[in-house]
C-alpha cells in the first residue's frame, strides 16, 4: 500500500513540476485552460494531494509531515520559476492557494494516517 501511495506521490510531483513550468501556449496548458476550473482551485487541489500523500504514505510520521509541509516550498519555488516560462507569471494568489492546500492536506492526512494504522 505504501509503495503505491509513494509512487502516486512521485508521479504527481512530476506532473505538478512540469505543468507549473510549461509555457502558457503549450497544448497541455491550453487543454487545462479549456476545463474552465478556477486556477486557484486547481492549485489548492494539487497541493492538497501533494501534502496528503506523504503524510499517509511515509512509514515515519515525522518524515511524512516534513515531506508534506515541504510541498509549500516546492510550490513557492515553482511559482518563481514561472517568471522564466513564456506567457507565465508568478502570482501571490497561487502561492496562497498552494499554502492552503498544503495545510488542509496535511491536516486531513493525520486522522487518515491514524485510521490506516488501526487496520
Angle at 91 (CA atoms; ends 94, 10), nearest 5 degrees: 45
Please tell me the predicted confidence (pLDDT) of residue 119. Answer: 83
SS3 68: helix
CB neighbour list of residue 87: distance below 8 Å, 6 or more residues apart: 23, 24, 25
Burial class of residue 43 in the structure, from the number of CB atoms within 10 Å of its CB (0-12 exposed, 13-18 middle, 19+ buried)? buried
As given in the structure block, the three cell numbers for residue 61 are 510520521
pLDDT along the chain (119 residues), means of 10: 95 98 96 95 98 97 98 98 96 98 98 93
Please tell me the predicted confidence (pLDDT) of residue 1. Answer: 87
Q: How far apart are CA 83 and CA 103, in angstroms?
A: 25
Amino acid at each position: 500500500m505504501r509503495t503505491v501511495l509513494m509512487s502516486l506521490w512521485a508521479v504527481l510531483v512530476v506532473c505538478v513540476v512540469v505543468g507549473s513550468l510549461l509555457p502558457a501556449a503549450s497544448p497541455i496548458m491550453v487543454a487545462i485552460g479549456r476545463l474552465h476550473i478556477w486556477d486557484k482551485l486547481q492549485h489548492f487541489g494539487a497541493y492538497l494531494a501533494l501534502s496528503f500523500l506523504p503524510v499517509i504514505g511515509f512509514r515515519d510520521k515525522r518524515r511524512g509531515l516534513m515531506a508534506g509541509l515541504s510541498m509549500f516550498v516546492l510550490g513557492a519555488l515553482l511559482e518563481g520559476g514561472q517568471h522564466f516560462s513564456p506567457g507565465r507569471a508568478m502570482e501571490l494568489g497561487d502561492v496562497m492557494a498552494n499554502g492552503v492546500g498544503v495545510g488542509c492536506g496535511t491536516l486531513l492526512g493525520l486522522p487518515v494516517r491514524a485510521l490506516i494504522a488501526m487496520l
